[in-house]
């Protein structure tokens, strides 16, 4: 049976932290090969690997210096080919992470441009200073500071929306686009079946770049420009669109539902689906990440609903996720890390996996991993975290407060080594890992999760299987149910005569919801849940963090 991307579940591997096979403290391809039986047991269909290309690793591989090689840090091309073949034998495909908005300044193209080689002069976005001597625009880098850095001694400045070592490519220059499409084709030939395109809605900069006006959001000046759609369609036609069954997902920074529909509507031939992040900003005070605020449950529900409903009605497709390598662990944000850790992990899993879209599981999520609780600044490796710490201190925050914010918000929260067992270095490596293992490693690990039949792991395994077995999950339409309920997130999926009502209690206390009469009969099936099985009643009281999916056919 061939499955389409609506029936599949994708598992994200952060290669640096998955499994170290050669004792250098850094995860690698042979480590992933070792763990194929584990991935197969979980039942996922594809693994997304964060970038494994040669890179100075200033931004953990999102600063690529060669798109067509494997970084020796992770192994060789032969290791990669072996990984593809061995995964294929258990029906798992690979998704690659294409960082096409920018390259490392160590990339040959940037170096040649810097050396004055004529062919490469237009590969990056360069501008002179303004006549008053100020920078070409007043935009702020996503990693703090200005977005412009001197381009050698030419007097020009180059644009970097992220770190100065990540120079933005000039997509308006056709040879740049051609080279990037060749990269996609190179990996298609190697058997790669999926592509995640990093910050892809930022690639289309205007010809004339201008300052943000006072109070104007500078991001809007380079995000979702109409020309991005032209480029994506062109890339589709020149590469992956020529093959059957390739899955693509665009990582969309600060986008809108309307744009999401345009990027993912099948007949537009751009991408299969999009990642959006608004639901993961509901614990940002006034939209600022480096703040400390309990999450806003009603906002979370509202945002997820708008994306579900909007994409449903507009025939777009969502990538569904709680965690990734840029996010603190969802359990710390929306669940419980103590008494109800497993229960809330299952609730979050079901409430996401039963939505309309393609679910992504981030390594460790399937065993209920939580934030590592680092003690000192030295424990952090991430460039964004270090810049933010400096900024917070400059803004007058105490060391203690700044560290508390890192503990809650740092991207390293999601990047700590995978917890395989309760032994030394969590079974990730025999040597000291590049990033400290989380404090919970002794009790939260794979070995434990595989031992217990009712563990978080087996709950994920069941959700993955249900998506393959039930069209209502993979192909059904979406409607909110009691959107205004203050404690429970509920929704209904419908496919032909099948219906699925999903109820999720996000509170650590009981909560009651009125069930639709249709479900109050003997035919209703309790499809999946994490609570005590009991008769359905019109007024149904859910246990703390209970999830329950009721199926009618
Ligand atoms: O992330 C894009 C992005 O917008 C993030 O910077 C996000 O805003 C931030 O992590 C939240 O704190 C992608 C990659 O996923 C990320 O790892 C890279 O650093 C970034 O692009 C640059 O390539």
Q: How far apart are CA 47 and CA 40, in angstroms?
A: 11
Q: To which residue do tokens 């744009």 refer?
A: 259
Give the integer Cα–Cα distance in Å for 353 and 512.
23
Residue 546 has pLDDT above 70, yes or no: yes
* pLDDT given at position 3: 86
pLDDT tens column, 452-500:
999 999 999 999 999 999 999 999 999 999 999 999 999 999 999 999 9
Ligand 1 neighbour 253 (Cβ under 6 A)? yes
Q: What are the tens digits of pLDDT across the range 59-73?
A: 999 999 999 999 999
Task: State the pLDDT at residue 419.
Answer: 98
CATH architecture of 108-168: Alpha-Beta Complex (3.90)
C-alpha 326 to ligand 1 mean position (Å): 6
Atom 15 of ligand 1, nearest CA residue? 326
Indicate the domain borders of the chain: 5-102+174-463, 108-168, 476-552
pLDDT 10s digits, 524-540: 999 999 999 999 999 99
What confidence score (pLDDT) does residue 476 get? Answer: 98
> Which residue's C-alpha comes closest to atom 12 of ligand 1?
326
Write down the pLDDT at residue 214.
97
Dihedral sign (CA 236, 237, 243, 245): positive
The CA angle 495-498-503, to the nearest 5 degrees, is 95
Q: Whose CA is nearest to atom 4 of ligand 1?
A: 253
| Alpha helices for 421-533 (secondary structure H) | 446-451, 456-469, 471-474
pLDDT of 59 reads 95
- Find where tokens 């497709």 sit: 317
Distance 51 CA to ligand 1 centre (A): 13
> What distance in angstroms lies between residue 276's CA and the mean position of ligand 1's atoms?
12
Q: How far apart are alpha carbons 354 and 39 in whole angstroms? A: 21
pTM score of the predicted model: 0.97
Question: Which is catalytic among the residues 45, 251, 336, 342?
Answer: 251
From the list 59, 79, 168, 198, the catalytic residue is: 198
Between 3.40.50.1370, 1.10.10.10, 2.60.40.1180, 3.40.50.9100, what CATH number should domain 476-552 receive? 2.60.40.1180
pLDDT at 439: 97
What CATH number does the domain located at 5-102+174-463 have? 3.20.20.80
**How far is Cα 161 from Cα 288, in angstroms, rounded to an integer?**
18
| pLDDT confidence of residue 191 | 98
Encode pLDDT of 18-71 as tens digits: 999 999 999 999 999 999 999 999 999 999 999 999 999 999 999 999 999 999
Give the pLDDT confidence of 95-134 residue by residue, as tens digits. 999 999 999 999 999 999 999 999 999 999 999 999 999 9
Residue 338 has pLDDT above 70, yes or no: yes
Is-catalytic flag, 251?
A: yes
How high is the mean pLDDT of the chain?
A: 97
Which backbone phi and psi does 33 adopt, to 5 degrees?
Answer: -55, -45
Per cent of the chain over pLDDT 90 is 99
What pLDDT score was predicted for residue 2? Answer: 80
Q: Do 5-102+174-463 and 108-168 fold alike per CATH?
A: no
Which residues are CB-neighbours of 316 under 8 A, at least 6 positions away?
257, 260, 261, 262, 263, 264, 265, 273, 274, 310
CA distance 453 to 476: 29
Rounded Cα distance between 345 and 334, Å, is 9
Q: Is the CB of 492 under 6 A from ligand 1?
A: no
45 carries an active-site annotation: no
Asked whether the predicted pLDDT for residue 1 surpasses 80, the reply is no
- Mean local confidence (pLDDT), 372-398: 97
State percent of the chain over pLDDT 70.
100
Q: Which of 326, 389, 406 to mutate to test the pocket of ligand 1 (most atoms within 8 A of CB)?
A: 326
> Mind giving me the DSSP string for 404-422?
HHHHHH-GGGGTSPP---S
Mutate to test the pocket of ligand 1, among 162, 254, 275, 412 (most ligand atoms within 8 A of CB): 162
Backbone angles phi, psi at 211, to 5 degrees: -65, 150
| pLDDT reading at 14 higher than 70 | yes
C-beta 198 within 6 A of ligand 1: yes
């Amino acid at each position: 049976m061939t499955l389409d991307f609506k029936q599949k579940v994708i598992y994200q591997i952060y290669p640096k932290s998955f499994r170290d096979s050669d004792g250098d403290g850094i995860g690698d391809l042979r480590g992933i090969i070792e763990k194929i039986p584990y991935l197969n047991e979980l039942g996922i269909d594809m693994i997304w690997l964060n970038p494994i290309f040669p890179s100075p690793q200033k931004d953990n591989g999102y600063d690529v210096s060669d798109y067509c090689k494997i970084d020796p840090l992770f192994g060789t091309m032969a290791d990669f080919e072996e990984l593809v073949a061995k995964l294929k034998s258990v029906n798992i495909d690979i998704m690659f992470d294409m960082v096409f908005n920018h390259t490392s300044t160590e990339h040959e193209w940037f170096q040649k441009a810097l050396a004055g080689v004529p062919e490469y002069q237009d590969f990056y976005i360069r501008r002179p200073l303004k006549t008053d001597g100020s920078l070409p625009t007043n935009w702020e880098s996503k990693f703090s500071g200005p977005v412009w850095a001197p381009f050698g001694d030419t007097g020009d400045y180059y644009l970097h929306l992220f770190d100065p070592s990540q120079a933005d490519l000039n997509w308006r220059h056709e040879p740049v686009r051609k080279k990037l499409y060749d990269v996609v084709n190179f990996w298609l030939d190697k058997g790669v079946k999926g592509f995640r395109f990093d910050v892809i809605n930022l690639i289309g900069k205007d010809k004339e770049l201008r300052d943000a006006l006072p109070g104007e959001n500078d991001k809007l000046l380079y995000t979702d420009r109409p020309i991005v759609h032209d480029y994506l369609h062109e890339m589709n036609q020149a590469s992956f669109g020529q093959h059957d069954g390739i899955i693509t997902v665009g990582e969309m920074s600060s986008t809108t539902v309307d744009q999401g529909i345009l990027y993912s509507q099948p007949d537009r031939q751009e991408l299969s689906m999009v990642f959006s992040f608004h639901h993961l900003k509901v614990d940002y005070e006034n939209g600022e990440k480096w703040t400390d605020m309990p999450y806003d449950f009603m906002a979370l529900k509202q945002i997820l609903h708008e994306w579900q409903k909007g994409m449903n009605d507009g025939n777009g497709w969502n990538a569904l996720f709680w965690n990734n390598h840029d996010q603190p662990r969802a359990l710390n944000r929306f669940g419980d890390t103590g008494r109800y850790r497993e229960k809330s992990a299952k609730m979050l899993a079901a409430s996401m996996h039963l939505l309309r879209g393609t679910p992504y599981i981030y390594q460790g999520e399937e065993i209920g991993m939580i934030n590592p609780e680092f003690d000192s600044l030295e424990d952090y490796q991430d460039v964004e975290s270090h810049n933010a710490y400096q900024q917070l201190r400059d803004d007058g925050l105490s060391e203690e407060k700044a560290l508390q914010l890192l503990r809650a918000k740092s991207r390293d929260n999601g990047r700590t080594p995978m917890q395989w067992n309760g032994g030394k270095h969590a079974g990730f490596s025999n040597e000291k890992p590049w990033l400290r293992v989380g404090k919970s490693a002794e009790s939260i690990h794979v070995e434990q999760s595989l031992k217990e039949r009712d563990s978080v792991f087996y709950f994920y395994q069941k959700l993955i299987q249900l998506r393959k077995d039930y069209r209502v999950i993979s192909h059904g339409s979406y409607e909110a149910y009691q959107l205004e309920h203050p404690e429970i997130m509920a929704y209904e999926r419908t496919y032909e005569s099948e219906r699925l009502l999903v109820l999720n209690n996000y509170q650590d206390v009981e909560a009651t919801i009125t069930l639709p009469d249709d479900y109050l009969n003997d035919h209703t099936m309790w499809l999946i849940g994490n609570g005590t099985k009991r008769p359905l009643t019109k007024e149904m009281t859910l246990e703390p963090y209970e999830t329950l999916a009721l199926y009618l056919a």
